Amino acid sequence: MDIKLRQELIDFCASRGWGNDHSGPNLARAIMVEAAELNRLFQWGVEPIDGDDFENLSDELADIAIYLEYLFVNYNINIDRAVRKKIAKNAIKYPKTV
C-alpha cells in the first residue's frame, strides 16, 4: 500500500481511539466478517458487475484491504516483501506446467 495512504489509515484509526480494538485477533476476526460479506455478494452465482452491486463489491474489498493493512502495520511486516516471498514459495510448490 502506498505509504501516504497507509499513514492516512493510521491517522484515521488513532484519531478515533481504535488502537486498542485493533489487536491481531480482532483484526483477523474482522477480516473473516468482511470476507463473509464479500461472499454474500456472489451468492447464487451472481456476478456484481455494475451499479450498486459493483459499489458494494468495491466497498467489501476495501474493508478487507484496510484490515489487512492494519495487521501488516501492527506486526511491522512489509506487504510487498511478504507477497514476493510468498510468490517465490508458491513457484517452488506449484511449478509451471505449460
Q: What is the pLDDT of residue 17?
A: 95
Cell 452465482 -> residue: 45
Residues near 59 by Cβ (< 8 Å), separated by ≥ 6? Answer: none
Q: What is the pLDDT along the chain (98 residues), one digit of tens a residue?
A: 889 999 999 999 999 999 899 999 999 999 999 999 999 999 888 888 888 889 999 999 999 999 999 999 999 999 999 999 999 999 999 999 98
Q: Is 31 within 8 Å of 68 (Cβ atoms)?
A: yes
| Angle subtended by helix axes 79-93 and 51-74, to nearest 10 | 100
Q: What is the pLDDT of residue 98?
A: 86
CA distances from 40 to 37, 46, 53, 57, 67 (A): 5, 9, 11, 10, 19
pTM of the model: 0.89
Q: What is the pLDDT of residue 81?
A: 97
Q: What is the pLDDT of residue 94?
A: 97
Q: Is 41 within 8 Å of 57 (Cβ atoms)?
A: yes
User: Is the domain covering 3-93 a CATH 1.10.287.1080 domain?
Assistant: yes
